[in-house]
Amino acid sequence: MKAFAVTAIVAFVAYLILTAGSGHLALWSIDEIIIGVILSIIVGILSRGIFVKKSYRMLNPKRWLFGLAYIGPFFIAMAKANLDVAYRVITGKIRPGIVKISPNLKTDLGITMLANSITLTPGTLSVDVDEKSNDLYVHWINVKDEAMKKMPRDYRYVCKNFPDWIRRIAE
């Protein structure tokens, strides 16, 4: 029942976002809201087993607040990444390499978020993932010597403290 409610509410919100601006009741027309309720009930019945896995940890509002707060440092890192890549595009100074990092994340959602964050931030691009230990292989455009000393490499040089943020959001 809880799985059905979560799926139906998410489907209804998605429907409302896509049909905003159709009428004068706030932003929606009555017809769209009625159709949306019917459709989200159908979607909730059909896909509750696919959408909701075992745990309900993402329902905790604290995780959503951390997710919103994560946008700030993420955007700053992303701006730095772009200036860095712009500098390398113009000068052509590169020192590439593929390094392995162990962020110690356990869930699929966490590792997906981290891989996407790494691809969008300073000079790094995720290439492959070890599915047993959740280690990431990262292509790094400017390998620093101090990060090469021990194995597996220290993730702070590659992606700062993003794994700690993502542990708070998704695990």
Partner 1 sequence: MIVEILIYLFIAIGLTFNLLAVIGLLRFPDVYTRLHAGTKCTTFGSIFLCLAVMIHALRIWYLNGEPSSSIMPIHTLIALIAILITNPTGAHAIARAAHRSGVKPVKAVVDDLEEDRECHSKKSST
Site string for partner 1, 110-129 (x = CB under 8 A): -----xx--xx--x-xxxx-
Of 37-45, 58-66, 79-87, 156-164, the segment contacting partner 1 by CB under 8 A is 79-87
Burial group, residue 29, by CB count within 10 angstroms (0-12, 13-18, 19+): middle
Q: How far apart are CA 36 and CA 10, in angstroms?
A: 11
> Which residues, listed in sequence order, are joined to residue 126 by a DSSP beta bridge?
138
Instruction: Count the alpha carbons within 13 Å of 7 in the hemisphere toward its beta carbon.
Output: 19
Regarding 31 and contact with partner 1 (CB under 8 A), the answer is no
Q: Which is nearer to partner 1, 1 or 26 (CB)?
A: 26
> Which residues, listed in sequence order, are joined to residue 129 by a DSSP beta bridge?
136
Q: Which is nearer to partner 1, 18 or 46 (CB)?
A: 18
Q: Which is nearer to partner 1, 60 or 82 (CB)?
A: 82
Q: Which is nearer to partner 1, 2 or 64 (CB)?
A: 64
Q: Which is nearer to partner 1, 3 or 120 (CB)?
A: 120
How far apart are CB 50 and partner 1 at their closest, in Å? Answer: 18
- Tell me the backbone φ, ψ of residue 87, rounded to 5 degrees: -60, -45
53 and 47 Cβ atoms separated by less than 8 Å = no
157 and 147 Cβ atoms separated by less than 8 Å = yes
> Which residues, listed in sequence order, are joined to residue 95 by a DSSP beta bridge?
142
DSSP result, 125-155: EEEEEETTTTEEEEEESB--GGGGSSSSBPH
Of 1-9, 34-42, 58-66, 135-143, the segment contacting partner 1 by CB under 8 A is 135-143
Regarding 68 and contact with partner 1 (CB under 8 A), the answer is no
State the residues that interact with partner 1 by CB under 8 A.
Answer: 17-18, 20-24, 26-27, 78-79, 81-82, 85-86, 88-90, 92, 94-100, 115-116, 119-120, 123, 125-128, 130, 137, 139, 141, 143, 148, 153
